[in-house]
Amino acid sequence: MAINRQDVLDSAIRVLDTVGLPDLTMRRVASDLGVAPGALYWHIPNKQSLLAAIADTVLADPALAAAASKSRMRWDRRLAGYAHALRAVLRKHRDGAEVVSAALASRLGSRGIHDAIAAIAADAGAKPADARAAAGTLVHFVVGFTFEEQTRELMDRAGAAAGETDQVSTDRSFADGVDLIVDGLRTRLPA
C-alpha cells in the first residue's frame, strides 16, 4: 500500500484520539496503516517531528482562522474569542493540549497561534513587544489550562482524581483568566 504524509498524519491523529499520547508510537501508526514502521520514515523523520506535524494539523482548524480573521468585532472580543476557540480546538483531540505544548517546546511546531494573537494585539494598537508578550502569555495560559483540564478528565475516568469536576466552574475560571490577560493588555494600549 502506498502512503503519503497526509495518510500518516490522519492515522496518527486517529491513534492519538483512540489511545492517547502515551501509547502513540510510530509502530502503532504503521500498524493502523497496514505498513511496516520503516515506511513512515519516508514521510516523518521521527516521533518529535510527528508530534509537531500533528500539532500543526490540529492548529490548522478553520475555527481558529475564523476567530483570528479581521472583523468588525472589537479587538478585546476577538482576542477572547480566539482564546476560547483555541481551547475548543485543543479539546477536540485526546491529549491535544499536551501535543501542542510538546510541539511548541521543541520549536518544531507552528508559531501560527502566536502570530494570530500578536496580530490581534497589534490591531488594537499594542507595541510589537507588548503584542508578542500578550501572545506568549495567552498561549501559555490556554495550552496550560487545557492540558491540566484534559489530564484531570483522564484521571476522573481512571478514578484517580479527588473530588468531582465542576464543568461550569472550570469554564468560568477559564473565561476569568482570559479576561484578566485581555484587561492586562488593555492597560498597555495608547490612550
By residue count, the chain amounts to 191
State residue 127's pLDDT score.
96
pLDDT above 90 for 166 = no
Domain CATH code at residue 28: 1.10.10.60
26/85 same-domain check? no
Q: Give the Å distances, CA to CA, from 26 to 10, 47, 52, 109.
A: 13, 7, 14, 18
Task: Indicate the average pLDDT of the chain.
Answer: 91
129/164 same-domain check? yes
**Nearest residue to 175 (alpha-carbon basis) of 84, 85, 74, 92:** 84
125/70 same-domain check? yes
113/163 same-domain check? yes
Domain CATH code at residue 80: 1.10.357.10
Give domain status of residue 113, yes or no.
yes
> What's the count of helices (H) and strands (E) in the chain, helices before strands?
9, 0
The pLDDT confidence band at residue 5, using thresholds 50, 70 and 90, is very high
**Nearest residue to 32 (alpha-carbon basis) of 8, 4, 54, 6:** 8
Q: For 30, how many CA atoms within 13 A lie in the half-sphere containing its CB?
A: 15
The rounded percent of the chain whose pLDDT value lies above 90 is 73
32/62 same-domain check? no
77/117 same-domain check? yes
**Nearest residue to 93 (alpha-carbon basis) of 28, 46, 24:** 24
41/67 same-domain check? no
- Number of structural domains the chain divides into: 2
State residue 167's pLDDT score.
83
Mean pLDDT computed over 12-41: 93
80/17 same-domain check? no
State residue 95's pLDDT score.
95
Number of Cβ within 10 Å of residue 125's Cβ equals: 13
Mean pLDDT computed over 95-117: 90
Residue 29 contacts residue 12 (beta carbons within 8 Å)? yes
Give domain status of residue 191, yes or no.
no
pLDDT above 90 for 117 = yes
The boundaries of the domain holding residue 29 are 5-45
31/74 same-domain check? no
Give domain status of residue 50, yes or no.
no
CA distance 153 to 98: 13
State residue 72's pLDDT score.
81
Q: Give the Å distances, CA to CA, from 177 to 20, 71, 83, 138, 170.
A: 27, 24, 10, 9, 11
Mean pLDDT computed over 57-80: 90
pLDDT above 80 for 56 = yes
97/139 same-domain check? yes
CA distance 79 to 96: 21
State residue 162's pLDDT score.
67
pLDDT above 90 for 153 = no
Mean pLDDT computed over 101-127: 91
36/114 same-domain check? no
Give the sign of the dihedral formed by CA 131, CA 123, CA 173, CA 146: negative
The rounded percent of the chain whose pLDDT value lies above 70 is 98
State residue 1's pLDDT score.
67
Mean pLDDT computed over 58-70: 89
